[in-house]
Amino acid sequence: MKNLSIVFALSTVFASAVLWAEPVTCLSPDGRAVVTFDLTAVGEPTYSFAFRGETVIAPSKLGFDIKALGADAFDGRKAADLRRDFVLTDVKRATADETWKPVWGEEKEIRDHHNELLVALVQKTTGRRMNVRFRVFDEGLGFRYEFPSEEDKGVARLVPGQQIVPQGQTQPLTHFTIVEERTRFNLPCDPLAWWIPADYETQEYRYTNSKVTEIPSLFKGAPDANLSTTLTPVPCVQTALMLKYPSGLLVNLHEAACVDYATMHLKVDGHDFESYLTPDATGAKGWLQTPCRSPWRTVICGAKGADILSSRLTLNLNEPCALADTSWIHPVKYVGVWWTMITGAKNWAYKPDPTMHAANTTNVIRHLDFAAEHGFDEVLVEGWNIGFEDWFGKEKDAVFDFVTPYPDFDLEGLNAYAKKKGVKLMMYHETSASTRNYERCLDAAYGLMKRLGYDSVKAGYVGNILPHGDHHYSQWSNNHYLYCIKEAAKRQIMVNQHEAVRPTGLCRTWPNLIGNESARGTEYESFGGNNPDHTTILPFTRLIGGPMDYTPGIFEADLSKVCSWKKQFISTTLCGQLALYVTMYSPLQMAADLPENYEKRLDAFQFIKDVPCDWDETRYLEAEIGDYLTIVRKAKGKDEWYMGSKCDENGHKAKITCDFLTSGKTYTATIYADAPEARYGGPTADRYVITKREVTRETVLDLVAQPGGGWAVSFK
Ligand code: NOJ
Ligand code: CA
């Protein structure tokens, strides 16, 4: 009773106290994007966002449901939410305009130009502080929550000298769990969405294109969703989510810098969304201690697809590179002992019949010779170490030790041979998703790599996360992935994580994270197929957070030629596969097919050999999500350009003016195009025509991609 009356007295006093004039706005540098912060009559924080005069986010609430920890947890007075009763106590503004150089990337320099607004809030019933930091860019918005340090606990103030809650009665926020983040994304309309269902364990879905309001009824029946037992219990979608408003405006929702925090899904509510974090084994969605902060929630806008693809907002919201020396980090083109296992022809596990075990010494030598002959940096060998024979689906804590080879894999000898050939072996760690086992073994595993000269590792997280009950995208798992990246960086090891969390631009801070899978990759061409438009969607969704190890380059579309019982064709043409080396940006690129499938088509293979995976400049010439995209890039430090175009099942005709080329210079263009009869998914998928011609910046090229196809051009 006594407490209640105190709360009542305080709210009447402070409801009338005008501390800061609301609403508060912040404009982008060009003045055409604007975020507005406001408080409702009951002190609920809200924001809205407009882009070039159009409402992108209508007024939407911000806040959290929380549970205090420690002694606080037993105090019934402690408020369980950070959603209402807030007053605005301070507003700070800043501007940034700086250009930074990524260690690798789509261009050599990136400009970060934004205006910043920090709103400092105090919950007047508790004295708890929560700030929201907004950064407004010409093309979008980022905002994050910040919980300041409570060193000065008990002295939360409205304005100097004016106490909100009397001394001794504040409820400082120190240790707490997140029950749910309650960030709303209220939309002014019912947009079209390119979405995959939210899942605690996987992102390996095909996309659905529907109105937002249709998502709940399609959720469980979405492609591949019937195979999952780990969908979110209520209909949610994964980010990066691509939306198209009825006006044509494109809007991308995602997050940046997800550090020490759970991954956010978006819960569908009519045509609106609300954040829905991934829980851990206890059901908690985060364990925080002040000072702390959330990842950035991001909104990227554009009139054209190219505007979304050219945005660097996600990288700009991440911290600068944390490494003093990055000279050891480099782009990697690789081949590997991989596709025969994915197609089902060979095994990861040791078989006494060496022809059935892909990682046998003879087969690896064959790949090392091939890599050396054709200029590849590395050879990936999966299934080299013991454990695969007693692993999948068995939910064992400790399966792999990451150091003991199978008897037919000559670990030392092959590394010596690779060195002689001027290539490296790429390490493979299947963690069996036993994150604790991997951490226990990490020092020995990385130690072996250092001793033998491996400089990169592909780490996989197949299966349910162990310890049991945890999830792939919980705060704990996210911390694990970053721990491995940091430990690898200490030892100058580059990392490519598969089945790990979807990226949020952390490769800016940790550029040794050269790749992630975290989406449905080429392997699914063997596991039931990808849709022909899949790679026209991924650049707008999965790639917004960082590069993908998509593993393109399948030349033999008829999988029965690789694995006799697999009666299936892949869902692109051969030239469509070539295009992916340009359209799916990654500093790590695999030529995923078998050496013999390249040796039969060395003229087309030349494009994969030539195409770099690090760039000075990139131009998005045309891009319609779900239909087609054409990108041209300038090779790092060279006057050479590479262009790729990928389309969906309908084919695409493009007219490209080569005005990106240096004026007054003539280049030799080598055009790798679908033959007129080339079609995805059938026996003509591998038909192509290669032509060479002299071109200048005045040349206009008419290029045709056949259904499920594409084309690629090198300009030298
Ligand atoms: C799934 C990965 O994506 C794939 O590349 C790998 O070969 C398998 N896991 C084996 O663990
Ligand atoms: Ca389409």
Average pLDDT, integer, range 700-705: 98
Written as six digits, the tokens of 147 are 């919980």
> For residue 105, what pLDDT band results from cuts at 50, 70 and 90?
very high
For residue 651, the ligand closest to its alpha carbon is 2
Tell me: the pLDDT tens digits for 26-67? 999 999 999 999 999 999 999 999 999 999 999 999 999 998
Ligand 1 neighbour 549 (Cβ under 6 A): no
Structural contact between residues 175 and 70, judged by C-beta atoms closer than 8 angstroms? yes
Ligand 1 neighbour 387 (Cβ under 6 A): no
Adjacency order of strands within the sheet including 424-430: 513-516, 494-498, 456-460, 424-430, 378-381, 332-337, 588-590
Ligand 1 neighbour 135 (Cβ under 6 A): no
Distance CA 297, CA 144 (A): 6
Neighbours of 93 (CB within 10 A): 11
For ligand 1, mutation pick of 458, 498, 549, 588 (most atoms within 8 Å of CB) = 498
pLDDT at 479 over 70: yes
Neighbours of 306 (CB within 10 A): 19
pLDDT at 18 over 50: no
Structural contact between residues 372 and 450, judged by C-beta atoms closer than 8 angstroms? no
For residue 342, the ligand 1 atom closest to its alpha carbon is 7
For residue 646, the ligand closest to its alpha carbon is 2
Residue minimizing CA distance to atom 11 of ligand 1: 430
Which has the minimum average pLDDT: 5-14, 20-29, 588-597?
5-14
* Beta-bridge partner residues of 29: none
Residue minimizing CA distance to atom 3 of ligand 1: 498
Written as six digits, the tokens of 505 are 């631009």
Based on the number of CB atoms within 10 Å of its own CB, is 621 exposed (0-12), middle (13-18) or buried (19 or more)?
middle
Concatenate the DSSP letters of all residues of 500-521 into one string.
SPPP-SGGGT-TTEEEE--S--
Distance CA 283, CA 281 (A): 6
For residue 382, the ligand 1 atom closest to its alpha carbon is 7
Structural contact between residues 142 and 134, judged by C-beta atoms closer than 8 angstroms? yes
Compute, in angstroms, the gap from residue 207 CA to the centroid of ligand 2. 11
Compute, in angstroms, the gap from residue 460 CA to the centroid of ligand 1. 6
- pLDDT given for residue 175 in this prediction: 87
Ligand 1 neighbour 517 (Cβ under 6 A): yes
pLDDT, mean over the chain: 94
Angle at 291 between CA 287 and CA 292, to 5 degrees: 50
Residue type at 234 in one-letter notation: V
- Which of helix, strand or coil describes residue 603? helix
> For residue 401, what pLDDT band results from cuts at 50, 70 and 90?
very high
- pLDDT given for residue 166 in this prediction: 57
Ligand 1 neighbour 204 (Cβ under 6 A): no
Residue minimizing CA distance to atom 6 of ligand 1: 460
Distance CA 451, CA 266 (A): 45
Distance CA 711, CA 701 (A): 12
Tell me: the pLDDT tens digits for 185-218? 999 999 999 999 999 999 999 999 999 999 999 9
Distance CA 136, CA 210 (A): 29
For residue 432, the ligand closest to its alpha carbon is 1
Tell me: the pLDDT tens digits for 82-91? 999 999 999 9
- Helix orientation angle between 435-452 and 411-421, rounded to the nearest 10 degrees: 50
Ligand 1 neighbour 498 (Cβ under 6 A): yes
Distance CA 334, CA 459 (A): 15
CA distances 287 to 68, 151, 247, 282, 290, Å, are 10, 19, 41, 11, 10
Compute, in angstroms, the gap from residue 423 CA to the centroid of ligand 1. 22
Structural contact between residues 631 and 620, judged by C-beta atoms closer than 8 angstroms? yes
pLDDT at 9 over 80: no
Distance CA 436, CA 379 (A): 28
Catalytic residue selected from 107, 382, 499, 523: 523
649 has catalytic annotation: no
The terminus-to-terminus CA distance of the chain in angstroms comes to 81
> For residue 72, what pLDDT band results from cuts at 50, 70 and 90?
low
Ligand 1 neighbour 460 (Cβ under 6 A): yes
Q: What's the pTM value of the predicted model, to 2 decimals?
A: 0.95
Ligand 1 neighbour 272 (Cβ under 6 A): no
Compute, in angstroms, the gap from residue 698 CA to the centroid of ligand 1. 45
Structural contact between residues 122 and 89, judged by C-beta atoms closer than 8 angstroms? yes
For residue 428, the ligand 1 atom closest to its alpha carbon is 11
**Is the Cα torsion angle 678, 683, 685, 686 positive or negative in sign?**
negative
Compute, in angstroms, the gap from residue 464 CA to the centroid of ligand 1. 14
For residue 428, the ligand closest to its alpha carbon is 1
Close Cβ partners of 148 (under 8 Å, ≥ 6 residues apart): 129, 131, 290, 291
pLDDT higher for 11 or 94? 94
For residue 515, the ligand closest to its alpha carbon is 1
- Nearest-10 Cα torsion for 622, 627, 632, 636: 130
In percent, the amount of the chain with pLDDT more than 70 equals 93
Close Cβ partners of 53 (under 8 Å, ≥ 6 residues apart): 32
Structural contact between residues 390 and 382, judged by C-beta atoms closer than 8 angstroms? no
Phi-psi group of 415: left, alpha or beta (phi > 0 → left; psi -120 to 50 → alpha; rest → beta): alpha
Structural contact between residues 550 and 679, judged by C-beta atoms closer than 8 angstroms? no
Written as six digits, the tokens of 478 are 């996210």
The residue among 652, 625, 629 whose CA lies nearest residue 209 is: 625
Ligand 1 neighbour 430 (Cβ under 6 A): yes
pLDDT at 19 over 70: no
Distance CA 22, CA 28 (A): 19
Phi-psi group of 469: left, alpha or beta (phi > 0 → left; psi -120 to 50 → alpha; rest → beta): left
Ligand 1 neighbour 416 (Cβ under 6 A): no
Compute, in angstroms, the gap from residue 459 CA to the centroid of ligand 1. 9
Ligand 1 neighbour 462 (Cβ under 6 A): yes
Ligand 1 neighbour 523 (Cβ under 6 A): yes
pLDDT at 170 over 70: no
Average pLDDT, integer, range 392-415: 96
- pLDDT given for residue 74 in this prediction: 57
Tell me: the pLDDT tens digits for 131-167? 999 999 999 999 999 999 876 544 444 544 555 565 5
Neighbours of 101 (CB within 10 A): 10
Count of residues in the chain: 716
Structural contact between residues 459 and 500, judged by C-beta atoms closer than 8 angstroms? yes
The residue among 557, 563, 578 whose CA lies nearest residue 686 is: 557
The residue among 204, 103, 106, 257 whose CA lies nearest residue 460 is: 204
pLDDT higher for 18 or 509? 509
- Which of helix, strand or coil describes residue 24? strand
The structure tokens 């013991």 sit at: 386
Ligand 1 neighbour 280 (Cβ under 6 A): no
Compute, in angstroms, the gap from residue 607 CA to the centroid of ligand 2. 26
Compute, in angstroms, the gap from residue 706 CA to the centroid of ligand 1. 30
Which has the minimum average pLDDT: 154-163, 264-273, 329-338, 421-430?
154-163
Distance CA 553, CA 598 (A): 9
- pLDDT given for residue 165 in this prediction: 61
For ligand 1, mutation pick of 462, 499, 518, 527 (most atoms within 8 Å of CB) = 462
Written as six digits, the tokens of 94 are 């800043």
> For residue 169, what pLDDT band results from cuts at 50, 70 and 90?
low
Q: What is the DSSP letter of 385?
A: B
For residue 517, the ligand 1 atom closest to its alpha carbon is 3
- pLDDT given for residue 546 in this prediction: 98
